């Protein structure tokens, strides 16, 4: 399917509005709802539009966050009413500081929209903005929805039909294009070349690092799909092995017919640097890496490896030897039509800071690494 520029533009504008703290009005059949991401949902913003909105205030959360709040086995993204007198700033604090024991907030009956996609669309917008995947919202009153387009225009608020916001991740990967390239000499390989790819929805940038380009065998290319890790790749954090895997992959490629490292802007298994730090703070208080992500509202792994498959197709790579311990990467690119000839594992150095991380990944995610933890 070719990239749909109109749909892509709509999604990109919605993501950017959330990032800047602007409200969105999203239509669901004949109803209109005003949304704010939880990070920007201060009471003063709602107060400005109160005369246009019903009193009831709602919170939309992922199933992971709902389970942490209600301690139930909830299987879908849901929303629930909050006491309309509750100061929205208290709700914001509860989500930005997930372990805070805020007794002021009272949650009422769990609810679901008739269309499951409506929940998912709103949550996906927050995830693609790399924000906490929770939104505060109110319904536009019946009186004012008759002139909803005039209201939105006068107040500078973008109005969307939720149906225009579906398939976000698919469209993001399809929008990726090669924008620039240059030779960049590396300590281990002075002939390396960097190719920069940009997604025109959400503005993420990804890099294909071509190691030893003159020695690459195009029939089967050595490949490492590497998610950017600010803490590990740059500062050599002891909490993960990301920088170690990156260096091992480059060394392998230098010794064995070159290769390609896809350096993807997917920090913290796709949740972004700010949310990764929130997860780290929860881990410091006793949670493991997966439970911490769940508590903020994320899946075990939020990365979309269709991005990698898209870049490989642009580079006309059809068969690879993949350097990874993660079988999800292998399955994702296979599904996209890339043939995987061999899997090459990396070997982490264990220490007291990363031991529990590996133990959790092996136990809960099937991380393909056999080490004594």
Domains of the chain from N-terminus onward: 5-170 (3.90.870.10), 176-266+303-365 (3.40.50.10990)
Q: Answer for the pair 307, 264: CB distance below 8 angstroms, yes or no.
A: yes
Query: Which whole number is the average pLDDT over 343-357?
Result: 91
Q: Do 195 and 181 contact (CB within 8 A), yes or no? A: yes
Per mean pLDDT, which range of 4-18, 33-47, 113-127, 187-201 is the poorest? 33-47
10/104 Cα distance (integer angstroms): 37
Q: Which of 19, 269, 278, 303 is catalytic?
A: 303
Entry pTM: 0.91
**Marked catalytic residue, from 120, 301, 304, 310:** 301
Q: What is the pLDDT of residues 149-181, one digit of tens each?
A: 999 999 999 999 999 999 999 999 999 999 999
Per cent of the chain over pLDDT 70 is 89
Residues 59 and 37 sit within 8 Å (Cβ to Cβ) = no
Query: How confident is the model at residue 15, as a pLDDT?
Result: 95
Between 230 and 86, whose confidence is greater?
230
Mark whether 301 is an active-site residue.
yes
Q: What is the separation, in whole angstroms, between the first and last Cα of the chain?
A: 45
The residues, ordered by sequence, that sit 6+ positions from 264 with a Cβ below 8 Å of its Cβ are 206, 225, 226, 227, 228, 303, 307, 308
Position 115 scores a pLDDT of 73
Q: What is the token pair recorded at 30?
A: 């004949």
At 238 the pLDDT is 95
Residue 288 is among the residues annotated as catalytic for this protein: no
d(CA 285, CA 212): 44
Q: For residue 327, report the phi and psi dihedrals to the nearest 5 degrees.
A: -70, -20
Please spell the DSSP secondary structure of 134-164, one letter per residue. EEEEEEBPHHHHTTHHHHHHHTT-EEEEGGG
pLDDT tens track for 50-65 = 888 888 888 899 999 9
> Is pLDDT above 70 for 108?
no
**232 within 8 A of 331, measured Cβ to Cβ:** no
Q: What distance lies between CA 11 and its chain's CA centroid? A: 15
Q: What is the pLDDT of residues 217-242, one digit of tens each?
A: 888 999 999 999 999 999 999 999 99
């Amino acid at each position: 399917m070719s990239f749909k520029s109109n749909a892509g533009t709509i999604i990109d504008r919605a993501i950017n509005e959330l990032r800047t703290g602007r409200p969105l009005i999203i239509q669901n059949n004949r109803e209109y709802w005003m949304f704010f991401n939880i990070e920007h949902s201060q009471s003063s913003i709602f107060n400005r539009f109160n005369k246009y909105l019903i009193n009831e205030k709602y919170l939309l959360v992922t199933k992971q966050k709902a389970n942490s709040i209600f301690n139930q086995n909830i299987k879908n993204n849901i929303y629930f009413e909050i006491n309309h007198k509750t100061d929205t700033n208290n709700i914001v604090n509860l989500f930005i500081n997930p372990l805070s024991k805020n007794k002021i907030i009272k949650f009422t009956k769990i609810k679901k929209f008739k269309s499951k996609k409506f929940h998912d669309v709103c949550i996906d917008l927050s995830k693609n903005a790399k924000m906490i995947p929770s939104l505060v919202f109110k319904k536009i009153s019946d009186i004012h929805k008759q002139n909803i387009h005039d209201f939105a225009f006068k107040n500078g608020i973008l109005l969307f039909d939720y149906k225009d916001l579906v398939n976000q991740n698919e469209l993001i990967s399809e929008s990726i294009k090669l924008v620039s390239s240059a030779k960049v000499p590396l300590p281990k390989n002075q002939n390396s070349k960097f190719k920069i790819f940009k997604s025109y929805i959400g503005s993420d940038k990804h890099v294909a690092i071509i190691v030893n380009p003159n020695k690459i065998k195009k029939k089967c290319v050595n490949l490492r799909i590497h998610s950017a890790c600010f803490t590990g790749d740059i500062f050599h954090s002891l909490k993960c092995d990301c920088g170690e895997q990156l260096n091992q992959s480059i060394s392998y490629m230098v010794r064995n017919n070159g290769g390609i490292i896809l350096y993807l802007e997917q920090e913290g298994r796709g949740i972004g640097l700010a949310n990764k730090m929130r997860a780290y703070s929860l881990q410091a208080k006793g949670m493991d890496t997966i439970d911490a992500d769940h508590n903020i509202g994320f899946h075990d792994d939020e990365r979309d490896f269709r991005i990698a498959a898209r870049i490989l197709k642009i580079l006309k790579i059809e068969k690879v030897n993949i350097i990874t311990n993660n079988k999800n990467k292998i399955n994702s690119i296979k599904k996209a039509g890339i043939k995987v000839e061999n899997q090459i594992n990396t070997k982490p150095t264990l220490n007291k800071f990363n031991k529990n991380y590996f133990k959790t990944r092996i136990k809960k995610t099937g991380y393909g690494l056999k080490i004594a933890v």
